[in-house]
Amino acid sequence: MNKQHEACDVGVRTKEGSALYEKDFIQMDEKIHFKKGEDSRMVKVVVIDDDNWAEDRDFTVELYNIITNEAYTEIDTVTSILIIDDDKPGNLAFAQKKGQIRHVATNPVCEVEVSRTGGADGVV
């Protein structure tokens, strides 16, 4: 026979790491109420996307006692979130990687292809 979980309240909040409030994510601090028998809840953390390249950044989300405001110390009461930058500008190179482009002088235009690889956002 499974024993039902009792009702309880817990706090959940974000803490800056290399990711910063209002620049990389929205600060969050709220109370979660578990009803009797309920064993999971979802919380939403808002990540701020921009169009600028930056190193990947991280922050933490922790559970805490809403009465004492102290973080719980069990290993599974804090998690790290890594914001992976999706604005890598990529690399520019000539499409013809080796050799020499040969062009006949009687043709006034020589087309040389430039490729952008490994990203598509931002200034290279």
Return the CATH number at 18: 2.60.40.2030
123: in domain: no
User: Has residue 25 been placed in a domain?
Assistant: yes
Question: What's this model's pTM, rounded to 2 decimal places?
Answer: 0.68
Report if residue 91 sits inside a domain.
Answer: no
Residue 97, domain member (yes or no): no
- pLDDT confidence tier of residue 91, bands split at 50, 70 and 90: confident
Flag whether 30 is in a domain.
yes
pLDDT at 81 over 80: yes
* Domain region containing 33: 8-83
Percent of the chain that is helix, strand, coil (3-state, to 5): 0, 30, 65
pLDDT at 34 over 60: yes
How many domains would you assign to the chain? Answer: 1
77 alpha carbon, distance to own chain's centre: 20
Q: Is residue 120 part of a domain?
A: no
